[in-house]
Amino acid sequence: MPEKVDTREFRPLKVAIIGGGIGGMSAAVALRRAGHICSVYERRDFDVEVGASLSCAANGNRWLHEWGVDVQAGRPVDLQHLLMRDWHTGEVRNDYDLSGYAKEWGTPYYMFHRRDQLQITHDAAVAKEGEGTPVQVVTDHIATHVDHEAGVVTFENGEKVKADLVLGADGIRSKVREAIGIVAEKKSAPQTCYRVNVSKEKVEALGLDWAADPAIQFWGGYPKNNLSQYYKVVMSPMAGYSLISFYLFMPTEMTNHHEEGFVFAEADLRDVLAGQYSELDPRCVALIKESVERKPWRLYIHQPYKYIVKGRAALVGDSAHPMMPHQSQGACQAVEDAAALGLVFSKKYGGRFTSDVEAGLRMYEKIRHPRATRVQEASKRALENLNERIGFTSLSAPEAALAAKSDKLTVDEMNNYDMHKHVDDEVAKLAQAS
């Protein structure tokens, strides 16, 4: 039986994106490139962004290149190693070599300052040059209600916006998620975190140049004597080596903070170095004592959502799949969400989905929900067993056995994934079924 030809013509969609973080701005770029008219609504101005480091592995980085984002303007650090160090001595226990990463996967494994990755996607979105209509970015707009059937967003200032497509890129407390009827099931994680930064000048003054190596370096993460797996340090250079970023994890009961974010008051150094941090590698402690921008980050374990689209509304990034940070895939998964939207609503499929936005969003969900949920679950498993982390191999026989029993996420699985083909295949199935 011959395949039915879809004669509907492509039409540009009016897209309202709620939230101007990594996911929202990436979606704006992807949909701009696909030929749509996008507006991003952000609750605050962007000059408050501070933040820590973000990993951008090949599965995220390739889309920045495909969209024509000026990646080098983001001052990325090209990672060459994942190093695991002993908590007490700093001795290297495991070295995952990334020197052949770009050759194998087509693009480097980059480490960005969050502010820099946001800036380069923002610049690509609003630039006068480049394919597509420049994106409108509107600040000081707080969404209070979303009509997912009509595509109408109401803001705190009384303004209403009607769109063909509404994207909720507004984080773990998403108003768009509430509007489509999802009640977030979450619980406080047994581990929490502080994010701090150290300047290159401080590193050099202390004579600790190894701290600026092109590597993500880990301390802890494995039970040892009175040290639980919840004690972990993750350190990496960013912003063209001008800053060193630390994520300092510890058991939740050891912390005093009850808030989180990039804009809250700085944490006291005594809180940051609580508990078993007194036994941490002294060189690492010396760097932490020179840190600035010490921000609390309270962690939650979220249950996967049953759906991420309804009517003309869809979720992106943390709104769709909030996850623990232990696979370093949060930003990449937000970028992948954006890429999927750009492909589904592209001119390649004519008017199939621009004429039926709800069908397009169902396709987006089919492409993204299983993969993002798998990463979300793997990130939760890595909280308890760091050997579950992409790129880590076992350090002992018991740990190897534990990892072997799990459905471990792999570098191959993440980087071999061909979303172009995936969307093509699913659209072909849809055409055959119609």
Alpha-helical segments (H) within 192-322:
200-205, 269-272, 282-289
| Mean pLDDT confidence for 264-272 | 85
- Which domain CATH number covers 174? 3.50.50.60
| Mean pLDDT confidence for 45-73 | 88
Whether 132 has a pLDDT exceeding 70, the answer reads: yes
pLDDT for res 392: 65
Whether 48 has a pLDDT exceeding 90, the answer reads: no
pLDDT for res 261: 47
- pLDDT of 82-109, one tens digit each? 999 999 999 999 888 999 999 999 999 9
- pLDDT of 166-184, one tens digit each? 999 999 989 999 999 999 8
Nearest to 64 by CA among 18, 142, 134, 117: 117
Same domain, 36 and 177: yes
| Model confidence, pTM | 0.94
| Mean pLDDT confidence for 26-42 | 98
194: domain range? 188-301
- Which domain CATH number covers 199? 3.30.9.30
Same domain, 348 and 268: no
- pLDDT of 392-408, one tens digit each? 644 444 444 554 555 88
Same domain, 217 and 273: yes
* Backbone dihedral angles phi then psi of residue 29, each to the nearest 5 degrees: -65, -50
Same domain, 175 and 290: no
The C-alpha atoms of residue 213 and residue 215 are separated, in whole angstroms, by 5
pLDDT band at 266 (very low <50, low <70, confident <90, very high): confident
| Mean pLDDT confidence for 215-239 | 95
- pLDDT of 328-378, one tens digit each? 999 999 999 999 999 999 999 999 999 999 999 999 999 999 999 999 999
Number of domains making up the chain: 2
The C-alpha atoms of residue 96 and residue 76 are separated, in whole angstroms, by 20
301, 325, 344 - which closes a domain: 301
Same domain, 151 and 205: no
Check: CB of residue 135 under 8 Å from CB of residue 83. no
What one-character-per-residue DSSP string does 288-323 give?
HHT-EEEEEE--EEEPPPS-SEETTEEE-GGGT---
What one-character-per-residue DSSP string does 144-155 give?
EEEETTTTEEEE
